Structure 1
Amino acid sequence: MGSSFGGINTALTSLYAQRRGLDVTGQNIANANTEGYTRQRVVMQAQVGAVVPSMWAKTDGIGTGVAVSAVQRLRDEYLESRGRAEHGTSAYLASQSASYASIEDAFAEPSDTALAAQLQDMWGGWSDVANNPQLTASRSALIQQSAIVADQLNGAHDALARQWSQSRNSMDVYVDEVNVTAGSIAQLNSSIIQANASGVTVNELEDRRDLLAMRLSELTGATAAKRPNGGMDVFIGGSTLVTGAVTRKVEYTGAARLADQAAAPVALTWKDSGTPAEAGGTVGAMTNTMTRIIPDLAADLDSIAQNLIGQVNALHSQGYSADGDTGAAFFGGNSAGTIKVLITDPDKVAVSGAPGTRDSSVAEAIADIGDRADGPDREYQELIGQLGVVSQGSVRRAEIQGVVAAQIDAAREGQSGVNLDEEMTNLLTFQRGYEAASRVLTTIDSMLDQLINRTGLVGR
């Protein structure tokens, strides 16, 4: 049979449980706008007397109150893993799209002042020379127009080199962030594992760790997996970055400028072994930009410059200038970064095919280079056309992936986000429960007062 005083303990456990519910609800409300916070829920469990009856024990079968068995963190691990994967892909495509946008800005096509228009002006200058070979002004204008073309090629190459250098400098910052973030996750792992072993709730620590893991996914496409003891392992390209309280460091190695990229390709590597770390996310996209996109475009630009130099010089060197000299090379250099006009004297521009004549055959032939199927203009048009197609495709993929990531975030928020209406309902529920438990205590107190102080006084 239960004790007359047993009801006090039952009501007291309810007071403790309802107050814990109020505390957790208040924590949810306080962090409704906190990034990465996961709403929590109190799990209450009815307490019972003897679980296994003894031979001489007697019980009336009534429970002994309520206890808070856990404070649940309402987060779906599947959605979190999916969110990290989608955010890593989204960061990769967004970075790649931004790189293509910067490259398109460097070429600035179509424009009246861009390279395509300047090439047409230069071929027009050769046509003017062919029509008026005796005029010094037309030859002077040609030299100036050709110098502008050379400057445009130099500028495009320099713009690609600057973008490469800016990306290289950014990589050092990103790598430092990866190492620092990994160290923070390891520290949180240590605290969480120790707290779990002691039975302490660590929901807020896990929120902070998940937020850091998401950042690593955006930076490197990292994946994560939880251990039974509460720790989290983080992987880059299948290799471990964080295991419990132990971390590995990464570093960025290779060339410091575009010109050296072919000889010493840049790469994200493990500091302890020097082997490549196959990263995705922002780091992976920028590595791809520095190892493939920019070098390939620079090589195509060099090919255009070499085509221009070769075709113009081949014809110009066969002609004769106004002073009767055999034409020398018109352009110098061997790449987009080094091309320049060698002729500075208008009288040294080779126009005719024979000395002492004004047949203008050489100037006409050079002017026709702009219309050749294998000329530099056609090659440049193909480069710009391909760049536009690839860039547009990158933008579309980034937009689609952004929608996918937003949908996953919405699902994650629906699962783990704080709903203030729901929390206000919980607040009232726990408040009423606390008030009711208090009333039970008051009632029991009144009953005991009657039993102790008033029983047996009748007739005295």
Structure 2
Amino acid sequence: MGSTFSGLNTALTSLYAQRRGLDVTGQNIANASTEGYTRQRVVMHAQNANLVPGIYSTTTAVGNGVTVSSVERLRNGALDQRSYTEHANSSYHNERAGAYTLIEDVFGEPSDTALQARLQDMWDGWNAIASNPDKQAPKSAMLEQAVTVATSLNDAAVQLDNQYKSTRAGLDTYVGEVNKAAESIAKLNHEIVLATQAGLQANELMDQRGQQMLKLSELVGATATDLPNGAMSVYVGSAQLVSEFNTREIWVEPGSAQKLQDLPDIEVNLKWKDTGASVAAGGTMGAQMELLDKDGTLREISTQLDLVASTLASDVNGKHRAGYGVDGSTGLDMFVPYEPADPDITARNIRVNTDLLDNVDRVAVSSGDPLGVGTATRVLNGTVADEMSELASSRIGADATYQSLIGDLGVSSQSSIRRRDIQNAVTDQVDAARDAESGVNLDEEMTNLLTYQRGYEAASRVLTTIDSMLDQLINRTGLVGR
């Protein structure tokens, strides 16, 4: 049969267990607003009085009380893995949509001050010249409009290059963050394994590691695998970034392109530092690599913009060289590169010929020589200017090329925004499901708080009752009749 004093131990174990429950509940309440915190739950089980049952070693005692077997971390591993994947996808689409928004801001279409409107102003200027080929004012106005067109192309090219440089600098920053987060996970792996082997709880350490893992998934599209000893292996693509306590570094290969002009001769290469193999990045860095690639979005837009500039220069210069100015000059180009040695005209280097800006009478407007040099007839008409104005409606001219660029950009931008919105909705659903299971609910915690409080008070009452019984037994038994 059970010992007279066994009830004291039963009540005492209950006090310990209920107090542990109060402690864990208090921890949950304290961290209700802590990002990445996972609620915890005390797991209790009854202690059996017959620890080693046998024929001659049994007892009629009810039990030895209660013990706390563990403090569970209420986390769903499957939802965690899903969360890493969806957050990586969201970061990828957010970065792409943001990049397209910035590119659209470069062009600012449609607008009265954007490049399309300025091109139209220039063609209208040529039309005005056709009506008054001998007047200087329409030519001066047209040249100013042409300067505005060239400047708009220059500014757009510079802004695209600035976006490339900004994205490239961001990639370097994110590489450092990835390597730092990987080191943090390896360090936390070591601490968690040691704590687990010592029989200690490592729930808060696991929460910290989960936050670092979520960061890695967003940055580089990392995935994770939990190991039996409590450690975590982290992968980028199929390559291992963290293996228990060891990490590998990634880096942007030295000498990689720093600006758009470096492409396509020099590329941006994200590689593993130890093997030199390419990193199959996802997340934010995956989207950045697409932007920075030699066949990437920024390079493609820049190439199309250069095509607009070269088409404009080719079409206008071809007609301008064949025409005559009021002063009889001919064979002049209207658009030239900033540096005469440049072989091609691009959006970055296009400008209006200063010979025309210095003397507007050299602007070619006539199909014949107004001075009649070498001929008996003087010809001053607006034929060339009229042909210039008709370039606005050319199906293969600069306007059509630019409109195609803006149209393609708009379609790609809208597609990226829709995909971003859909992906963010999916990610929010996964986060909501994860928070429902692992997040702290204050109403539930208040209920647990009252439960453990009443349990503690009841155990205290049991202890007081047993103490009173033992006092009666020890101090007052045998005093009858004295």
Using the size of structure 2 for normalisation, the TM-score is 0.93
Query: Secondary structure at the residue paired with 2:322?
Result: coil
Tell me what 1:277 maps to.
279
Task: Look up the match of 1:323.
Answer: 327
Could you list the runs of 5+ residues in structure 1 that have no partner in the other structure?
none
Give, in angstroms, the shift of residue 447 of structure 1: 1.8
**CA–CA separation in structure 2 for the residues paired with 1:241 and 1:223:** 10
Post-superposition offset of 1:61: 5.5
Counterpart of 1:361?
Answer: 383
Shift of 1:267: 3.0
Whole-angstrom distance in 2 between the partners of 1:263 and 1:418: 54
Deviation of 1:331 (Å): 1.0
Assess if the C-alpha contact under 8 Å between 1:175 and 1:250 holds in 2: yes
Report the Cα distance in structure 1 between the residues aligned to 2:470 and 2:146, rounded to whole angstroms. Answer: 108
| Cα distance between partner residues in 2 of 1:11 and 1:183 | 47
Output the amino acid matched with 1:407.
Q
Measured after TM superposition, the shift of residue 55 of structure 1 is: 4.8
Superposed displacement of residue 24, structure 1: 0.4
**How far apart are the structure 1 equivalents of 2:140 and 2:441?**
75
Aligned partner of 2:360 in structure 1 is 346
Contact 1:317/1:329, CA 8 A, preserved across alignment: yes
2 CA distance for matches of 1:407 and 1:56? Answer: 60
Corresponding letter in the other structure for 1:246: N
Q: 1: CA distance between counterparts of 2:6 and 2:48?
A: 12
Residue correspondence of structure 1 range 36-115 to structure 2 within 5 A: 36-60=36-60, 62-115=62-115
* TM-superposed deviation, 1:261: 2.7
Aligned to 1:300: 304
One-letter amino acid of the counterpart of residue 236, structure 2:
I
Cα distance, 1:313 vs structure 2: 1.1
Please give the alpha-carbon distance, in whole angstroms, between the structure 2 residues aligned to 1:238 and 1:61.
Answer: 58
Question: RMSD of the TM alignment (CA)?
Answer: 1.3
* Alignment partner, residue 145 of structure 2: 145
Cα-to-partner distance string for 1:392-447 (whole Å, 9 max, x where unaligned): 11112111211111111111111011111111111111111111111111111122
Task: Quote the offset at 1:451 in angstroms.
Answer: 2.1
**Among candidates 429, 441, 456, match of residue 451 of structure 2:** 429
Letter in 2 for 1:68: V
1:6 is aligned to 2:28:
no
How far, CA to CA, are the matches of 1:446 and 1:320 in structure 2? 122
- The percentage of counterpart residues that share the same residue type is 52
* Paired residues of 2:95 and 2:284 also in contact (CA < 8 A): yes
Counterparts of 1:141 and 1:16 in 2: how far apart (Å)?
91
Q: 2 CA distance for matches of 1:58 and 1:224?
A: 50
- How far apart, in 2, do the equivalents of 1:237 and 1:309 lie? 46
**Residues 237-256 of structure 1 aligned to structure 2 (within 5 Å):** 237-253=237-253, 254-256=256-258
Moved more, 184-193 or 350-359: 350-359
Partner of 2:444, secondary structure, is: helix
- Check conservation: 1:39, 1:417, Cα contact below 8 A: yes
Q: In the TM superposition, what whole-angstrom CA distance separates every residue of 1:278-319 from its partner, at most 9, and x where no partner exists?
A: 111111112212221110000000011111111111111111
Where does residue 430 of structure 2 map in the other structure? 408
SS at match of 1:124: helix
The residue type paired with residue 267 of structure 2 is P
| Deviation per residue, 1:174-229 (Å, 9 max, x gap) | 11111111111111111001000001001111111101111111111111111111
Out of 336, 339, 342, the position equivalent to 2:347 is 336
SS of structure 2 residue aligned to 1:234: strand
Task: Give the letter for the 2:274 counterpart.
Answer: D
In 2: Cα distance, 1:375 partner to 1:61 partner: 99
Aligned partners of 1:396, 1:353: CA distance in 2, in Å?
53
Match of 2:467 among 445, 451, 457: 445
SS of corresponding position for 1:279 = coil
Please tell me whether residue 314 in structure 1 is matched to residue 318 in structure 2: yes
Q: What residue identity is the alignment partner of 2:349?
A: T
Kindly indicate whether the alpha-carbon contact (under 8 Å) linking 1:242 and 1:248 is maintained by their aligned counterparts in 2.
yes
In structure 2, distance between residues paired with 1:196 and 1:46: 23
Tell me the CA shift for residue 325 of structure 1: 2.6
User: Contact 2:50 / 2:58 at 8 angstroms: preserved in 1?
Assistant: no
Q: Which amino acid aligns with 1:244?
A: E
Tell me, yes or no, if structure 1 residue 186 matches structure 2 residue 200: no
Return the alpha-carbon distance in structure 2 between the equivalents of residues 76 and 56 of structure 1.
46
For structure 2, list consecutive stretches of 5 or more residues without a partner in the other structure.
Answer: 338-344, 371-378
Letter in 2 for 1:395: I
- Alpha-carbon shift at residue 454 of structure 1 (Å): 2.4
The count of corresponding residues between Structure 1 and Structure 2 is 460
Aligned counterparts of 1:246 and 1:261: Cα–Cα separation in 2: 36
Q: 1:155: which partner in 2?
A: 155
Cα distance in 2 between the residues matched to 1:189 and 1:391: 41
